[in-house]
Amino acid sequence: MSGGTVGAPVPRFERRAVVADGALASELHPVVARVYAARAVRDRGEVDYGLAGLAPYTMLGSLDVAAERLAAAICGDERILVVGDFDADGATGCAVAVLGLRALGARHVGYLVPNRFEYGYGLTPEIAEVAAEAAPDLLVTVDNGVSSVDGVAAARAAGIAVIVTDHHLPGEVLPAADAIVNPNLPGDPFPSKALAGVGVVFYLLGAVRVLLRDAGWFGGAGPAEPRLAELLDLVALGTVADLVPLDRNNRILVAQGLARIRAGRCRPGLLALLEVAGRDHRRAVASDLAFAAGPRLNAAGRLADMALGIECLLCDDRDAAREMATRLDELNRERRTLEAEMQAQALVHLEAALADAAGAGGLPYGVALYDPQWHQGVIGILAARVRERVHRPVVAFAPDGTGMLKGSGRSIPGLHLRDALAAVDARHPGVIERFGGHAMAAGLTLRPDDLDAFRAAFDAEVERAIPAEALEGVVLTDGELAEAEISIEVARALRDAGPWGQGFPEPLFDGDFEVLGTRVVGRDHLKLALRVPGGRRTLDAIAFRAAEQLPPEPPRRARLAYRLALDEWNGRERVQLVVEHLVLD
């Protein structure tokens, strides 16, 4: 929440430019048409989310080689081991792989997910050694592997075939796997570079099904041909939770998955995750996956072992799934407590940084924070929270238990974080031990003695890469709503116009309001009673984690950037303003 926090810029609201011609205005609610026009939606086909609109699997490079090897493994009754990752994308991708392969007729399918505290990320040589103990014939990575040069080599040296499925940006050297499926490989023709790891493996399963169908595998003595669309609830969860851009292809995957969730035709574990979070699956939207189911699934990988999360997704028994979801909810509560403590400590670091930089213009362009007491499983969330406060790229570090520092970074629009780390690595060889990631999030490892060198190099690289005005905290909005447009009808139309998410942002409106009353609810949330100047209705608003922004004297006016949401209370539906940015006067 911007305003009134350490080092935070006062938000400046800037309205989105309309980049389409508004041709849909006659077909849609005017507010929806306006929002679509600001997101370059030019025709109805761009928001038609039928499965037929998916990019064809034949365009995904090396998919044919991987599918043939996997089909042969199924027909040959080989032992297949899936190696996943310890975040929500890796967990859902692992579950999709296991469920899909079993449905296709594979009889010997297991999975292995590295414990982040013992092995770190990806298919390392150590994980390859653990995998070899299960004596698999074929190893399939999900959401990792494109940078696992040594791990793939170790697995193949042990006589295990390896298929890599990944979506992360590759390094200069690719692993010598039997096949690599990744839309971000150089020259790959697949049009959707934003596929999450779970999306990549879903595409692979579809290609395998076609091969098995053509080979006469299904029916008779073989299994019935499966409906892989039944896995789309998990594909939607992993795609949204991984914060990949929701291009049209990803919006189709998410929309189809949400439709299954709303109909109750989804995995018991996912239903249970929504239930323990207090969300009604019948009204599920992408934000429920991002802020309710996803964090609870991620909590297992952050604080314990992601195997608990994967087992929850694989579970067919509702009662057992509920027990596991309850445990994940407990872990998430632990994570939030730990995060709050770390955030308080981070603010102390920020105050010190501001004091040190008082004569040099304030905080550095790129912020790097470290505390020896921080938990490595929560530093990514911490970096995101601090970024919200200071609106600049942030990397948070914690000890990794091996004498190294584990860093997790979050960026701002205009800075590709992984590319920035690559530039630091090129200019200062040896400072970063290893790194990887995306435009908005990345991870790295370095020696404690190199932390100060990294801080200086990272700050210099961010300053080189983006102008100072990019740090001002500009909030892009979809303009004002008239009092009559702040309605259940418009809120429902905007909800149904999604899915919204990264790269296809949920509509955000701005406006000035009279403040009729305020009160703190929960631990630190701020409830507001508002009125449009000159209006007749009292509007309900909530600003999460914003209690600290309440001034000593009762505020009279508020400048808001808000989302329009539907809230149900005692069986009645009402419209609510969910405040994203707030300035009180």
Residues 138 and 197 in one domain: yes
Q: Compute the CA torsion angle 349, 351, 353, 355 (nearest 10 deg).
A: -150
Q: What is the CATH number of the domain that holds 283?
A: 3.90.1640.30
Residues 274 and 403 in one domain: no
Distance CA 443, CA 398 (A): 12
In a domain, 263, yes or no: yes
Write down which residue in 283, 309, 330 finishes a domain: 330
Residues 295 and 392 in one domain: no
Distance CA 577, CA 566 (A): 9
Q: Which secondary structure element, helix H or strand E, spans residue 541, and what is its range?
A: strand 539-543
In a domain, 349, yes or no: no
List CB contacts of 245: < 8 A, sequence separation 6 or more: 194, 502, 503, 504
List CB contacts of 211: < 8 A, sequence separation 6 or more: 67, 68, 71
Residues 202 and 116 in one domain: yes
- Helix ranges, 263-317 (H): 268-276, 286-288, 294-303, 307-314
In a domain, 355, yes or no: no
Distance CA 130, CA 16 (A): 51
Domain carrying residue 545: 12-19+476-584
pLDDT tens, position by position, for the chain (585 residues)? 333 333 455 668 899 988 776 667 677 899 999 999 999 998 888 999 999 999 999 999 989 999 999 999 999 999 999 999 888 999 999 999 999 999 999 999 999 987 766 666 779 999 999 999 999 999 999 999 999 999 999 999 999 999 999 999 898 899 999 999 999 999 999 999 999 999 999 999 999 999 999 999 998 778 999 999 999 999 999 999 998 999 999 999 999 999 999 999 999 999 999 999 999 999 999 999 999 999 999 888 777 778 999 999 999 999 999 999 999 999 888 888 887 888 787 777 767 765 665 445 567 899 999 989 888 888 888 898 888 888 899 999 999 888 999 999 999 988 999 899 999 999 999 999 988 877 888 899 999 999 999 999 999 999 999 888 778 778 899 999 999 999 999 999 999 999 999 899 999 999 999 999 999 998 889 999 999 999 999 999 999 988 888 888 899 999 999 999 998 777 788 999 999 999 998
Residues 539 and 569 in one domain: yes
Q: In what order do the strands lie in the sheet with 441-446?
A: 367-370, 394-399, 405-410, 441-446, 434-437
What 3-state class would DSSP assign to 8? coil
CA nearest neighbour of 232 among 249, 208, 247, 214: 249
Q: What is the CATH number of the domain that holds 454?
A: 3.10.310.30
In a domain, 336, yes or no: no
Distance CA 93, CA 200 (A): 8
Residues 122 and 149 in one domain: yes
Number of domains in the chain: 3
Write down which residue in 312, 330, 348 finishes a domain: 330
